[in-house]
Amino acid sequence: MTGRAAVVYRVGRTGTAWRQAGDEIVVLDTESSVYFGLDRFGALLWTRLVDGATTADLVAALVAATPVEPERAGADVQSFLDTLLRYGLIQVS
């Protein structure tokens, strides 16, 4: 029996520029010239997405950094990923 590989999310290599400003991150979709501001928790997740991360990796990072229940963290992470995917800021592999 073989296990199914986990989905890895990663910041898109083209069309996305970003800079950290304190504990927040500003992301620019260079194709549409739309800016996104990420608070410290979004920035925490974004920095993990730079090298690639699974949903479980992101949930674990959020739970370790905040007083949030894993179920709530899972829902928040999925919403965050859905938004980034909708705007084409991350890739799935």
Sorted by where each starts, the structural domains of the chain and their CATH numbers stand as 9-92 (3.90.930)
- pLDDT given for residue 13 in this prediction: 74
**Tokens encoding 85:** 């995917």
**pTM of the predicted model as reported, rounded to 2 decimal places:** 0.89
pLDDT > 70 in the chain, percent: 96
pLDDT of 2 > 70? The answer is no
Q: What is the pLDDT of residues 28-59, one digit of tens each?
A: 988 888 999 999 999 999 999 999 999 999 99
Question: Distances from the Cα of 2 to the Cαs of 5, 6, 9, 53, 85, in angstroms?
Answer: 9, 12, 22, 21, 28
